[in-house]
C-alpha cells in the first residue's frame, strides 16, 4: 500500500495501480474514452488527462502508475479544459446525426459531451472522407462515426487473434478498418461482432433486419414464426434497464406474442435436437474409426474461422447445422406438413445474441430443398427495439409460455448451450447415457463451465475414456487446432464457440458500456448464471428425454442421423 494525494485529499492506493484505478477506488471518476479494462490502455485518446505535480504536461490517468507521495489533481481548470478540448476535436470530425444514429441515447461519446459540458461545435470545418461498408452479411462499418479509440482493433487482435482491423493513414486522414480500407467481406472477418460490442459509438453495428420482419408480420400471406436463442433471455432485460443477467424468458415470450408472431418457439428445442444428431454423430465416429476429435459446429463465427484459417481441418467439424437452423428446417417441413401450410408461406425469424447468424442463414450450403431454413435474424438489441417500437411495456409483462404444440418443450441441456461449455455438457448428458445404456445420475459437469481459458475433462464412459476440451474465442481455439494439425491432440470431442464466454457474450447482445466493463463486473458470468438457473429449474435436463423430440423422431425423422435427418439437419462446409 502507498499514500498519495488526489484533489487535496490523502488517499491510499496500491503499487502497480494506475491513477485511474486508484482514483476509482477512492470514489473519483475520471472520464475515459479509449480505455477498456483487459483490452486497451495506451492513453491514446487523452480524455483521461489529469494534472500530476512536477510533471511538465498533463498525464493520461489510464497509464500513469501511482507511487508514494504522488500528488494528482483530476479536476483542475487545466485538466478540465484540456479534456473538453480533446472531446471537441473528436466531435469536430464526427457526423453528428445523433437523432437517427443507432447508438442514440446509448453512446459513450454523447455521454462524455454531456459530462464535460461540450456545448458548441468549437472546431467545425473540414471532415475526413468516410467509408461506409455494408457489404458483409452481418456488420456495418461507418467511419464517419469512428473516434479512433482502437477498442475494436485490440479486441479483434487480442481476443480473437484475428487482427484484421488496424489504423491506416496518418494525422487528419487516420481511419480504422481492414487493410487498404477493404470491405469486411473481403478480408478474413469471421463476423463475430466482438468489435461491435466494444465500439463506444455507432461506427460498427449489426445490419438491421427489423424492417424486414415488420413487413413479413404485415403480410397476410405469411405465417410468421419466431424462435429465441438460449442466451437472449439472459440479456434482453438489459434493453429495458433491468440488471445484467436478469432472466426474462416469460416476459420475452409474452412480448413476442404481443408483437403478433403466429408462433413463438424456443431455439432450446433446436439445441436438444442438435444434441441428438451431434451426440449420435460423435458415437458413430468413435465406433467406426471416424475423424476425431469431432468439433462442434453451432457457432457460425467459429465456422467462418475454421473455413478461413484451417480448411484442412474441416472434416473434424460436426456436420450438424446449428440449433436455430435445425428448428427452422423442422418448421418448414414437419410443422408445415402437419399444419398443411406451404413452406414457402412460412417466414422464420430467429432472435439471436449473434451477428454471424445473419450470414449463416444466407449460406447456400444451408438451403433445404431450395428454401432458407431461417428468413431473418434479429439480434437481442434489435428485438429490444422492435418491442419498444410496438409500444410494449416490457417490464410490466406477466410471464407466458412458448407455444407448446410441437416445439415448445425444452430441457435444461438445451438452455445451457448459451454459455461456454454448455454444448459439451449437454452432449455428455446424452452421450454417456447412450454409451452406457443407463440413466446416469451425473448431470453437472463443472469442469467444462466457467470462463477460465481452455477447459478440459477426461471421462470414463463404460470402457471408453473420453477426453473433451472447450474453447471460447479464437485465441483460445488456435492452440487446440494447431495440436490437431500436428497430430498431437489428445481430445476426442471439442466445443468451440466464436465469442469469449460463449453466446451470452455474443456480438448481438446488449451493450455493456465501458463504465461497467472497467468496474470489473463479470457480465458474462451474470448472464451464464441465468442460464444455469434455468437449467436447474427444468424438470427434464437431458435432451434425449424431451418428449417432443422423441415424438419428432417417432413420427417424422426416424432415427438420429437417419437419411431424412441428414437431408434436413446436416450441412457441409466450404474450403
Ligand atoms: Fe447460441 Fe446456439 S447456443 S449458437 O451460442 O448452438 O447465437 O444463445 O442460439 O443456433 O441453441 C447463439 C445462443 C444459439 C444456435 C443454440
Ligand atoms: Fe474482428 Fe470479429 Fe469484428 Fe470481424 S467481427 S472485425 S473478426 S472482431
Ligand 2 in contact with 162 (CB < 6 A)?
yes
Q: What is the pLDDT of residue 443?
A: 86
Question: What integer pLDDT is reported at residue 44 of this predicted model?
Answer: 83
Provide the residue ranges of all domains of the chain, joining segments of one domain with +: 2-91, 128-207, 211-569
Q: Stretch 244-266: mean pLDDT, rounded?
A: 98
Give the Å distance between the CA of 417 and the centre of ligand 2: 22
pLDDT tens, position by position, 227-250: 999 999 999 999 999 999 999 999
- pLDDT per position as a tens digit, 187-242: 999 999 999 999 999 999 999 999 999 999 999 999 999 999 999 999 999 999 99
- Show the cell assigned to 161: 487473434
pLDDT (mean) for 366-374 = 96
pLDDT computed for residue 470 by the predictor: 97
Euclidean distance between CA atoms 381 and 507, whole angstroms: 10
Q: Ligand 2 in contact with 538 (CB < 6 A)?
A: no
**Is any ligand 2 atom within 6 A of the Cβ of residue 190?**
yes
| Residue 183 alpha carbon to ligand 2 centre in Å | 12
The sign of the torsion formed by the CA atoms of 179, 181, 187, 191 equals positive
**366 Cβ closer than 6 Å to some ligand 2 atom:** no
How much is the pLDDT for 461? Answer: 87
C-alpha 575 – ligand 1 centre gap (Å): 24
- pLDDT of 121 over the 90 cut: no
Tens of pLDDT along 109-120? 999 999 999 987
Grade residue 29 by pLDDT with cuts at 50, 70 and 90.
very high
**Pairing label, strands 59-60, 71-73:** unpaired
Q: What is the pLDDT of residue 463?
A: 86
Distance 229 CA to ligand 1 centre (A): 5
Q: What is the DSSP letter of 40?
A: B
CATH class of 128-207: alpha beta
Fold observed for domain 211-569: Rossmann fold (3.40.50)
Residue 126: pLDDT band by 50, 70, 90 thresholds? confident
Contacts of residue 371, Cβ cutoff 8 Å, sequence gap at least 6:
332, 343, 344
DSSP string, 293-352: SEE----HHHHHHHHHH-GGGGGGB--BPPHHHHHHHHIIIIIHHHTT--GGGEEEEEEE
Give the pLDDT band of residue 43 (cuts 50, 70, 90). confident
Atom of ligand 2 nearest to the CA of 178: 6
Mean pLDDT of the chain: 95
pLDDT digits (tens, 9 = 90+) for 441-487: 888 899 899 988 999 999 998 888 999 999 999 999 999 999 999 99
pLDDT, residue 251, reads: 98
* Protein residue with least CA distance to atom 4, ligand 2: 189
Active site residues per annotation:
278, 281, 298, 318, 357, 360, 365, 503
Ligand 1 lined by 204 (C-beta under 6 Å): no
The predicted structure's pLDDT at residue 39: 86
Q: How confident is the model at residue 87 (pLDDT cuts 50, 70, 90)?
A: very high
Q: How many CB atoms lie within 10 A of CB 26?
A: 15
State the distance from the centre of ligand 2 to the C-alpha of 174, rounded, in angstroms.
Answer: 20
Confidence at residue 34, expressed as pLDDT on a 0 to 100 scale: 93
Say whether pLDDT at 570 is over 80. yes
Say which ligand is closest to the CA of 274.
1
How much of the chain exceeds pLDDT 70, in percent?
100
How large is the average pLDDT for residues 293-308? 97
As a whole number of angstroms, the distance between CA 33 and CA 518 comes to 11
Lowest mean pLDDT among 333-337, 356-360, 402-406, 439-443: 439-443
How many angstroms separate the CA atoms of 237 and 259, rounded? 17
Distance from C-alpha of 383 to C-alpha of 251, rounded to nearest angstrom:
13
Let me know the angle formed at the C-alpha of 181 by 177 and 182, rounded to the nearest 5 degrees: 105
pLDDT band at 42 (very low <50, low <70, confident <90, very high): confident
Question: What is the band of 408 on the pLDDT scale with cuts at 50, 70, 90?
Answer: very high
Q: What is the pLDDT of residue 417?
A: 94
Confidence at residue 123, expressed as pLDDT on a 0 to 100 scale: 82
Nearest CA to ligand 1 atom 11: 271
> Of the ranges 41-45, 171-175, 498-502, 539-543, which one carries the lowest mean pLDDT score?
41-45
CATH class, 2-91 region: alpha beta
pLDDT of residue 553: 98
> From the CB of 103, is ligand 1 less than 6 Å away?
no
349, β-bridge pairs: 226, 376
Mean pLDDT for the stretch of residues 367-389: 97
Q: Percentage of residues in the chain with pLDDT exceeding 90? A: 91
pLDDT at 575 over 80: no
Ligand minimally distant from the alpha carbon of residue 309: 2
| Predicted interface score ipTM higher than 0.90 | yes
CB 206 within 8 A of CB 506: no
Q: For the chain, how many residues are written?
A: 575
Per-residue 3-state assignment (H helix, E strand, C coil) for 495-512? EEECCCCCHHHCCCCCCC
Predicted pLDDT of residue 574: 82
Distance CA 532, CA 234 (A): 10
Q: Which one of 229, 248, 414 would you pick to mutate in the ligand 1 pocket, going by the greatest count of ligand atoms within 8 A of its CB?
A: 229
How does residue 254 score in pLDDT terms, banded at 50, 70 and 90?
A: very high
Report how far ligand 1's centroid is from the alpha carbon of 403 (Å): 19
Q: Do 2-91 and 211-569 come out as alike in CATH topology?
A: no
Check: CB of residue 367 under 8 Å from CB of residue 444.
no
Atom number, ligand 1, closest to the C-alpha of residue 353: 7
The pLDDT score that the predictor gives to residue 272 is 96
Amino acid at each position: 500500500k502507498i499514500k498519495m494525494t488526489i484533489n487535496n485529499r490523502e488517499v491510499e492506493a496500491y503499487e502497480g495501480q494506475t491513477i485511474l484505478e486508484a482514483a476509482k477506488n477512492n470514489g473519483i471518476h475520471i472520464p475515459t474514452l479509449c480505455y477498456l479494462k483487459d483490452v486497451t490502455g495506451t492513453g491514446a485518446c487523452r480524455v483521461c488527462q489529469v494534472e500530476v505535480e512536477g510533471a511538465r504536461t498533463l498525464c493520461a490517468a489510464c497509464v500513469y502508475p501511482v507511487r508514494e507521495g504522488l500528488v494528482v489533481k483530476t479536476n483542475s481548470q487545466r485538466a478540465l479544459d484540456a479534456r473538453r478540448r480533446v472531446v471537441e476535436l473528436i466531435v469536430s470530425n464526427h457526423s453528428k446525426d445523433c437523432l437517427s444514429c443507432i447508438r442514440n441515447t446509448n453512446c459513450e461519446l454523447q455521454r462524455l459531451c454531456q459530462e464535460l459540458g461540450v456545448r458548441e461545435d468549437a472546431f467545425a470545418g473540414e471532415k475526413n472522407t468516410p467509408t461506409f461498408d455494408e457489404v458483409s452479411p452481418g456488420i456495418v462499418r461507418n467511419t464517419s462515426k469512428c473516434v479512433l479509440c482502437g477498442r475494436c482493433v485490440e479486441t479483434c487482435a487480442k481476443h480473437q487473434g484475428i487482427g484484421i482491423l488496424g489504423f491506416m493513414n496518418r494525422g487528419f486522414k487516420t481511419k480504422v478498418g481492414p487493410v487498404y480500407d477493404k470491405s469486411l467481406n473481403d478480408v478474413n472477418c469471421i463476423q463475430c461482432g466482438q468489435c461491435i460490442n466494444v465500439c463506444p459509438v455507432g461506427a460498427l453495428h449489426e445490419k438491421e433486419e427489423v424492417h424486414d420482419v415488420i413487413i413479413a408480420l404485415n403480410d397476410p400471406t405469411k405465417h410468421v414464426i419466431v424462435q429465441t436463442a438460449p442466451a437472449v433471455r439472459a440479456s434482453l432485460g438489459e434493453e429495458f434497464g433491468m440488471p445484467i443477467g436478469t432472466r426474462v424468458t416469460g416476459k420475452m415470450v409474452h412480448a413476442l406474442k404481443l408483437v403478433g408472431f403466429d408462433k413463438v418457439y424456443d431455439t432450446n428445442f433446436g439445441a436438444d435436437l442438435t444434441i441428438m444428431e451431434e451426440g449420435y454423430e460423435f458415437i458413430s465416429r468413435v465406433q467406426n474409426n471416424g475423424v476425431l476429435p469431432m468439433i462442434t459446429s453451432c457457432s457460425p463465427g467459429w465456422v467462418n474461422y475454421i473455413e478461413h484459417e484451417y480448411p484442412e481441418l474441416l472434416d473434424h467439424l460436426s456436420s450438424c447445422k446449428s440449433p436455430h437452423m435445425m428448428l427452422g428446417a423442422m418448421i418448414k417441413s414437419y410443422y408445415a406438413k402437419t399444419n398443411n401450410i406451404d413452406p414457402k408461406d412460412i417466414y422464420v425469424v430467429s432472435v439471436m445474441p449473434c451477428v454471424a447468424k445473419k450470414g449463416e442463414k444466407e449460406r447456400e450450403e444451408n438451403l433445404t430443398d431450395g428454401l432458407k431454413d431461417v428468413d431473418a435474424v434479429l439480434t437481442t438489441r434489435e428485438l429490444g427495439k422492435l418491442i419498444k417500437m410496438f409500444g410494449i411495456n416490457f417490464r410490466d409483462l406477466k410471464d407466458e409460455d412458448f407455444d407448446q404444440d410441437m416445439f415448445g418443450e425444452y430441457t435444461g441441456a438445451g438452455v445451457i448451450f448459451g454459455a461456454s461449455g454448455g454444448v459439451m455438457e449437454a452432449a455428455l448428458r446424452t452421450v454417456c447415457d447412450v454409451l452406457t445404456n443407463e440413466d446416469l445420475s451425473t448431470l453437472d459437469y463443472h469442469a467444462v463451465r466457467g470462463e477460465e481459458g481452455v477447459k478440459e475433462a477426461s471421462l470414463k464412459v463404460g470402457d471408453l475414456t473420453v477426453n473433451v476440451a472447450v474453447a471460447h474465442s479464437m485465441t483460445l481455439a488456435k492452440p487446440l487446432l494447431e495440436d490437431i494439425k500436428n497430430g498431437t491432440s489428445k481430445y476426442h470431442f471439442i466445443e468451440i464457440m466464436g465469442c469469449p464466454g460463449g453466446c451470452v457474450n455474443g456480438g448481438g447482445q446488449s451493450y455493456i458500456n465501458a463504465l461497467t466493463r472497467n468496474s470489473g463486473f463479470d457480465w458474462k458470468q451474470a448472464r451464464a448464471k441465468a442460464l444455469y438457473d434455468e437449467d436447474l429449474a427444468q424438470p427434464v435436463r437431458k435432451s434425449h428425454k424431451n418428449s417432443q423430440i422423441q415424438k419428432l423422431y417417432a413420427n417424422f425423422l426416424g432415427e438420429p442421423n437417419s437419411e431424412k435427418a441428414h437431408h434436413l439437419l446436416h450441412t457441409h462446409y466450404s474450403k
